[in-house]
Amino acid sequence: MNLFFLGIGGTLMGNLALLATEQGHHVRGSDSGIYPPMSNVLEAAKINVMDGWEPAFMKPRPDLVIMGNANLPRGHPAVEWVLDEGIPFVSGAEWLGRELMRDRWVLAVAGTHGKTTTTAMLAWILDHAGLEPGYLVGGVPVDFPRSARLGSGRFFVVEADEYDCSYFDRRSKFVHYHPRTLVVNNLEYDHADIFPDLAAIQDQFHLLLRTIPAAGRIILPRQDENLEEVLNRGCWTPIERFVPVRPGSRRKLRPHARDTGTVWTVGDRREKGRCFTVELDGAAVGEVEWSLIGDHNMGNALAAMAAAHHAGVAPATAVEALSSFRGVKRRMELIHDADSVRIYDDFGHHPTAIRTTLQGLRDQVGSDEIVAVIEPRSHTMSLGTLRNELTTCCAAADRSIWFRSPKLTWDLSEVVASSVVPAQMVDDVDKLVVVLTRLILERSRDQDGDQTACHIVIMSNGSFGGLQDKLKAALNGSAAAPAKATQRRGSP
């Protein structure tokens, strides 16, 4: 078929384009402002991508238009042209569920945080076990050559997003996936542009639960009050639990009637969490030794192992796979490491994600300097819905720098003024490069005169105006200069 992807730059849509190409379809698409990593992925696949929304891009007439949900409302010229021409159209999520995952054993990973990493982990475990799964990851996994593939096996692993499908289908994408195995890592309020409150999100998650067969399995954290409220609306599928290392609630929750009693936990930890024992119902099943950091990633690992186990993978095989797992691009991806300066690119989209990521780094680096550089770009962040949480989410860092983009609808200076760590605001990317370069050259020294390490974490769910590349270029072009002594974290 001749397929046209309207909004091809999104993670779901771009990956669908890859899968459609693999199926043998003729694929084209358009979008505006496509940025890495998806722009690089589409280019590598030699998919014809046009910049913008001109209806002329869809000529010759496609057999089917697959529509994304970003910036494509009624009244949009491309949408109106499709309707006027009578061209068949479908949302990306519906096309995925109907055409690519039908008759497969679908393992879906949902939740507010950790979906991409957990999906990549689960696909990697199944692949390591020789099951040749299909998968679609909402990011670029380091361990696979592509972020999506059809696979030749029975299983298909998919990142299950709760955002809506399109202007004509306001349900969450995941209602089209019909998984047999479901992981839900957590549930918090997000996507303030389409959900008025947490209850509206819970409505969608309960629709998802209604699609899981009684012969399936649901993998949930032991303590998440928001998810327990969803379960109490009705659940018809057996539940397994994993225990986050740092649960969000200390209140003991009553077991649900569908709980199987199976629990995955972290036992002993060594090397600041880079080695940890996995326990199934209290018995050790192996030790993971990897390069990832943070308690949240240990929880992701437990969830992925539980889902793989439901698909028939032995825990020892899963442990072996995770020990070689290298992560996902833009999830604490190290992009610069020179002269005691490490720069990470991270997909910071929510105060909780910022908090757990920075705490994971602090646990690893001790008293080294950490600088959080944040662009509040997601819809929820740009609307200021969770602005009060932003004042404390950088507590594990030494300082924070906030980027004020023109798209913000609220006064970011409120966060800067109330921050629990020293904070400043910058409203221009080039100025931000200058600020960071100067900070690096003047970074602290320890009492012996040796430079201490400086860790700069760039957090955004967008391109951040090319900050990462501009900063690396500035550092590569900077001459070494003596640093001025400044106080270390925790010094008097």
CATH number for the domain formed by residue range(s) 333-477: 3.90.190.20
Residue 108 contacts residue 174 (beta carbons within 8 Å): yes
Residue 68 contacts residue 5 (beta carbons within 8 Å): yes
| Residue-averaged pLDDT of the chain | 89
Task: Please state the rounded mean pLDDT for residues 187-192.
Answer: 88
Question: From residue 459, how far is each of 103, 331, 362, 374, 443 by CA, in Å?
Answer: 39, 9, 16, 5, 20
State the pLDDT at residue 450.
Answer: 56
Would the pLDDT of 240 be above 60?
Answer: yes
State the pLDDT at residue 104.
Answer: 97
Would the pLDDT of 247 be above 60?
Answer: no
Residue 37 contacts residue 54 (beta carbons within 8 Å): no
| Residue (of 332, 18, 324, 334) closest to 143 by Cα position | 324
Using pLDDT thresholds of 50, 70 and 90, give the confidence band for residue 485: very low
Mind listing the pLDDT tens digit for each residue in 34-50?
877 788 889 989 999 99
Mind listing the pLDDT tens digit for each residue in 364-398?
899 999 999 999 887 777 777 788 889 999 999 99
- For the chain, give every residue range classified as CATH 3.40.1190.10: 101-322
State the pLDDT at residue 479.
Answer: 41
Would the pLDDT of 486 be above 50?
Answer: no
Mind listing the pLDDT tens digit for each residue in 114-131?
999 999 999 999 999 999
- For the chain, give every residue range classified as CATH 3.90.190.20: 333-477
State the pLDDT at residue 200.
Answer: 96
Rounded distance between C-alpha atoms, residue 363 and residue 370, angstroms:
11
Q: List the beta bridge partners of residue 402.
A: 374, 425
Instruction: Tokens for 126, please give them.
Output: 């199944």
Task: Please state the rounded mean pLDDT for residues 79-102.
Answer: 97
| Angle (nearest 5°) at CA 431 between 428 and 436 | 120
Residue of higher predicted confidence among 443 and 357: 357
Using pLDDT thresholds of 50, 70 and 90, give the confidence band for residue 140: confident
Mind listing the pLDDT tens digit for each residue in 282-312?
999 999 999 998 888 999 999 999 999 999 9
Using pLDDT thresholds of 50, 70 and 90, give the confidence band for residue 480: very low
Question: From residue 55, how far is each of 5, 30, 68, 349, 421 by CA, in Å?
Answer: 12, 10, 15, 32, 49
Rg (Cα) of the chain, in Å, rounded? Answer: 23
State the pLDDT at residue 64.
Answer: 98
State the pLDDT at residue 246.
Answer: 52
- Lowest-pLDDT choice from 128-132, 163-167, 196-200, 339-343: 339-343
State the pLDDT at residue 264.
Answer: 96
Say what percent of the chain tops pLDDT 70. Answer: 93
Task: Please state the rounded mean pLDDT for residues 220-236.
Answer: 94
CATH number for the domain formed by residue range(s) 2-92: 3.40.50.720
- Long-range contacts made by residues 339-342, C-beta under 8 angstroms, separation at least 24? 339/451, 339/480, 340/443, 340/451, 340/452, 340/453, 340/454, 341/440, 341/443, 341/453, 341/454, 341/456, 341/475, 342/453, 342/454, 342/455, 342/456
Task: Please state the rounded mean pLDDT for residues 78-87.
Answer: 97
Mind listing the pLDDT tens digit for each residue in 326-355?
989 888 899 888 878 899 999 877 888 899
Mind listing the pLDDT tens digit for each residue in 255-283?
888 999 999 999 998 887 789 999 999 99
- Mind spelling out the 3-state secondary structure of the chain? CEEEEECCCCHHHHHHHHHHHHHCCEEEEEECCCCCCHHHHHHHCCCEEEECCCHHHHCCCCCEEEECCCCCCCCCHHHHHHHHHCCCEEEHHHHHHHHHCCCCEEEEEECCCCHHHHHHHHHHHHHHCCCCCEEECCCCECCCCCCEECCCCCEEEEECCCCEEECCEEEEHHHHCCCCEEEECCCCCCCCCCCCCHHHHHHHHHHHHCCCCCCCEEEEECCCHHHHHHHCCCCCCCEEEECCCCCCCCCCCCCCCCEEEEEEEEEEEEHHHCEEEEEECCEEEEEEECCCCCHHHHHHHHHHHHHHHHCCCCHHHHHHHHCCCCCECCCCEEEEEECCEEEEEECCCCHHHHHHHHHHHHHHHCCCEEEEEECCCCHHHHHCCCHHHHCCCCCCCCEEEEECCCCCCCCCHHHHHHCCCCEEEECCHHHHHHHHHHHHHCCCECCCCCECCEEEEEECCCCHHHHHHHHHHHHHHCCCCCCCCCCCCCCC
State the pLDDT at residue 433.
Answer: 93
Would the pLDDT of 62 be above 50?
Answer: yes
Crossing angle (nearest 10°) for helices 295-310 and 115-128: 50
State the pLDDT at residue 39.
Answer: 87
Fold classification of 101-322 (topology level): UDP-N-acetylmuramoyl-L-alanine:D-glutamate ligase (3.40.1190)
* 16: number of Cβ within 10 Å: 26
Residue 458 contacts residue 416 (beta carbons within 8 Å): no
CB hemisphere CA count around 32 (13 angstroms)? 7
